[in-house]
Structure 1
Amino acid sequence: IAAIEQALCDLGHTPVRIGNARQLIEQLVGGARWDLVFNIAEGLHGMGREAQVPAILDLYQIPYTFSDPLVMSLTLHKALTKRVIRDAKLSTGQFFLAAAPEDAGRVPFAPPYFVKPVAQGTGMGITTDSVVRDKKNLPGVCRALMAQFGQPVLIEQFLSGREFTTGLVGTGPFAKVMGTMEIIVLADPGKDVYSFENKEGWKGRVQYLPLSPDVDPLIKDVETLALAAWQVLECRDGGRIDIRCDAKGTPCFIEVNPLAGLRPHYSDLPMVCEFFGTSYVRLIEMILASAMERVQDRMQAPCPETA
């Protein structure tokens, strides 16, 4: 938060800290208003938690950064997101949503599987146990995750190839790729798993390798898929798309982060941008500029006729 605040100051703005969704409501009821809210709130409860702040701000017609409530609700639910991606004819691995442990017996594709909570972020719930190679073990893994997180479980076809994350900035036809890095898990056990533990303590466990299409031709396909997924999902301003290749080397959509972490030198999006020559302050400036386009469009729109 301090880094975002300093970047906004460096750009000539006067930031005011608001707090979480409850504190936002309190300030709005008290009469507070802002020119634009830089939203990084993940919300407090439920599968629609990341939509809470955008929905409140929409109600008060206060502009904000990043995606709207519809996109935030959709993309937190990994199975619904993959359905949209699949229906758009974009590449994603086979998947099945299990609402109860016994549903695991109805998975229509063969192991190995990759199992995770359907609506968690930052790798929560992802461990070395997430890769299930024997179908008879699947109900037990599902049961443990459901007990821990209180939500359905996404069962995916395990993708054995390389993993990438692509950073993007902008909205719709103005969105662009900022760069891609390969995620190489070094730690044993768990070389196949970019787990919560490996994400949080990545030094010595994970290598982030920046790659461009001129260095590795596969990156062109990765970035083409990432940009297409970003636009199909109607994400805004900035974020990340995670992609992993199948056994044949075909890039497949894994998930999207429309509210990406912005901790300098630590979070994936700033790291990608830094690798490819975009400073942290410039990244924040580009996110703001994308959001401000919506403000200008709204100001220029004709007033609706009153009845």
Structure 2
Amino acid sequence: KTIIRSAGLKTPPYILIKSTNDIKRPKLRLPVFMKPVAEGTGKGVDETSRVETMKQFNATAKKLLVKYRQPVLVEEYLPGREFTVAVLGTGKKARALGTMEIKVKPDAPAKDYSFQVKELCEQFVDYLPMERGNLRKKVENLAVQAHVLLECRDVSRVDIRLDANNEPNFLEINPLPGLHPTHSDLPMIATQEGLQYTSLIEKLLTSACERYGLT
């Protein structure tokens, strides 16, 4: 996120809490979103992650520090739609394959895309192809810029969320996204874009072979 922000790309304001000594009123606007800095698959994200008050802030920070033994990432909460973008290629050849919107249903056990919600995604999440248009172009352009800036190779999956002004913001990037044919986001995006699973794998291998001069 430091690299993303220094390059002038939009990402929500954030701080890191490294120990209980760092727990004090943040120079961020509430609500904020809190999670362990080095986990994946929604680990550490639950119904307490979206924080509205300082009492909640203190309790959530202490809980995460104790349980996960790593810094806590605190970001200003973005109220808009959430997307994940599949990016293929390396450097100048990087292109967005497609974008999928993630919509957590109202009856889900958490308001946000938490670990529990992900585990029960068939019941609590709608995965929808993003409509084409200017907004999608902005979302995918941000994702590709992040992929290239962070020197990802062959493939990545970039999480984007809209702020209160409907502007795309970078949340995080997965440089080694899951490849389960029906459960992982990357193959799901490929399917939505009409690309068969075997063709997706072929594209990844072709990109890697090109980097090593094996084509």
Aligned residue pairs, count: 215
TM-score (norm 1): 0.68
Aligned CA distance change for structure 1 residues 191 and 139 (closer, same or farther; 3 Å): closer
Structure 1 stretches of at least 4 aligned residues deviating more than 6 Å after TM superposition: none
2:169 alignment counterpart: 252
1:138 alignment counterpart: 57
Equivalent residue in structure 1 for 2:32, among 113, 117, 135: 113
1:295 Cα deviation from its structure 2 partner: 1.3
1:188 Cα deviation from its structure 2 partner: 2.9
Higher-strand-fraction structure? 2
1:200 alignment counterpart: 119
In the alignment, structure 1 residue 101 sits paired with structure 2 residue 13: no
1:183 alignment counterpart: 102
Write the deviation string for residues 136-189 of structure 1: whole angstroms up to 9, x where unpaired.
Answer: 321210111111111010000001110000001111110111100110000435
2:141 alignment counterpart: 224
Q: Give matches, 1:35-114, under 5 Å.
A: 82-114=1-33
- Measure, in 1, the Cα distance between the counterparts of 2:16 and 2:56: 16
User: Do the aligned partners of 2:32 and 2:77 also contact (CA within 8 Å) in 1?
Assistant: yes
Equivalent residue in structure 2 for 1:283, among 184, 200, 203: 200
Larger displacement relative to structure 2 (144-153 or 254-263): 144-153
- Measure, in 1, the Cα distance between the counterparts of 2:144 and 2:156: 11
1:150 alignment counterpart: 69
User: Do the aligned partners of 1:85 and 1:91 also contact (CA within 8 Å) in 2?
Assistant: yes
- Partner letter of residue 175 of structure 1? A
User: Do the aligned partners of 1:185 and 1:206 also contact (CA within 8 Å) in 2?
Assistant: yes
- Measure, in 1, the Cα distance between the counterparts of 2:167 and 2:150: 21
* Secondary structure of the structure 2 residue equivalent to 1:204: helix
> Structure 2: 5+ residue runs without aligned partners?
none
1:199 Cα deviation from its structure 2 partner: 1.2
Bigger Rg, structure 1 or 2: 1
Aligned CA distance change for structure 1 residues 178 and 212 (closer, same or farther; 3 Å): farther
> Structure 1: 5+ residue runs without aligned partners?
1-81, 300-307
In the alignment, structure 1 residue 263 sits paired with structure 2 residue 163: no
RMSD, aligned CA = 1.5
1:190 Cα deviation from its structure 2 partner: 5.3
Equivalent residue in structure 1 for 2:155, among 215, 227, 238: 238
User: Do the aligned partners of 1:101 and 1:139 also contact (CA within 8 Å) in 2?
Assistant: no
- Measure, in 1, the Cα distance between the counterparts of 2:192 and 2:129: 6
- Measure, in 2, the Cα distance between the counterparts of 1:97 and 1:188: 31
Higher-helix-fraction structure? 1
Identity of aligned residues (%): 45
- Partner letter of residue 149 of structure 1? Y
TM-score (norm 2): 0.95
1:159 alignment counterpart: 78
